[in-house]
Amino acid sequence: MTIIHCNLKDLIESRNLSQKELANLSKTREATISAMCKNELKRYPKDVLERIADALNLEDMNQLFTIKK
């Protein structure tokens, strides 16, 4: 079974940020950031992904997601 894994927790830690700080930077609810870090979301709103990508200066969405089999 293929699983899409969100790497947000690792990205936050590698940038020495807290979830709260990222929520503020990306203008995203803390609960949404937390759910993404725990891989609990079933759907990822495009606007949220764009704000997080901007806040973390991501150049490729593959930095945020990996496929696990």
Grouped pLDDT means (10 residues each) for the chain, 69 residues: 95 98 98 97 96 97 94
Domains in the chain, start-ordered, CATH in brackets?
3-68 (1.10.260.40)
Q: Pairing between strand 3-6 and 65-68?
A: antiparallel
CA distance 45 to 52: 11
**pLDDT the model gives residue 42:** 92
What pTM does this model have?
Answer: 0.91
- Region of residue 16 (left: phi > 0; alpha: psi -120 to 50; beta: else): left
Helix, strand, or coil (residue 16): coil
Q: Please name the residue that has the structure tokens 């947000």.
A: 8
pLDDT > 90: percent of the chain: 97
